[in-house]
Amino acid sequence: MTGRLPADAVTAGRDPAVTAWTALVPAKPFALAKSRCADLTPAARRTLARAMLTDVVTRLGAVPSVHAVVVVGGGPEVTGTALASGAAAFTTTHGPGLNAETADALAALDGPARRFAVVMGDLPGAAPADFAAALAAAGRHGGPALVADAEGTGTTLLALPGPQEFRPFLGPGSRGRFLAAGYRELDVPAASPLRRDIDTVEQLLALPAATLGPATRAWLAAREPARPAGRTRIPEVAAL
């Protein structure tokens, strides 16, 4: 889908008494994602990015206060994954890049009393309850808010009372820039999987397996058998 989200996609099957959030998930093309996973082939990086996006989108869709999930950008492969996971997709012909694409989506999807969450697509351990708790806290705060990553330099989730609150700071070092712009940092425990965005396979393996979404678990299960002793290279993953 290019442009606007149908109005019925925002409210269908949801309790109108619950504060409505529209969750936007910015996504790079899978071929460009997870570049820090240097021990994986391009095909394995692509399937890992797809698996994590699938789990994030599916779990966001299970949060009662999230009335729509929209994957932003990423091209045809990402759009197909979004639609297959029950989300809408937004593409733009304006300048490429997650910040520009997110700003375009926010402006196009704005509506009366609608709140937005911008959620990173590489949080495979975050469960619906983790998203729900953060959004409830953000709702009580009322103003723009963020969840910081485990390193304390980036952000994994933004909560916006309206599109005008968005600032184009997504990327490395975003936490400090958002805080300087008046965002409040939500009190999310350091060990929460909502703070564990995945840039490397080592970070993924450090997450408790039980917290991972099914698509990411399947990606791990598809790894080849371990290599001989003394070989530390992460096993490759067949295309799923």
In one letter, which amino acid is 205? L
The pLDDT of 65-76, averaged and rounded, is: 93
Give a yes or no: residue 230 inside a domain: no
Instruction: Indicate which CATH number applies to the domain containing 205.
Output: 3.90.550.10
Tell how many helices (H) and how many strands (E) occur in the chain.
8, 7
Q: Are 125 and 208 in contact (CB under 8 A)?
A: yes
Structural domain tally of the chain?
A: 1
Give a yes or no: residue 164 inside a domain: yes
The range of the structural domain enclosing residue 66 comes to: 17-221
pLDDT of residue 18: 54
The pLDDT of 172-191, averaged and rounded, is: 95
Per DSSP, the three-state class of 214 is helix
Give a yes or no: residue 2 inside a domain: no
> Whole-angstrom Cα distance, residue 53 to residue 72?
11
Give the pLDDT confidence of 36-69 residue by residue, as tens digits: 888 889 999 999 999 999 999 999 999 999 999 9
The pLDDT of 210-225, averaged and rounded, is: 88
Least confident of 8-12, 15-19, 47-51, 188-192: 8-12
Q: What is the pTM of this model?
A: 0.86
**For the chain, percent of residues with pLDDT exceeding 70:** 83
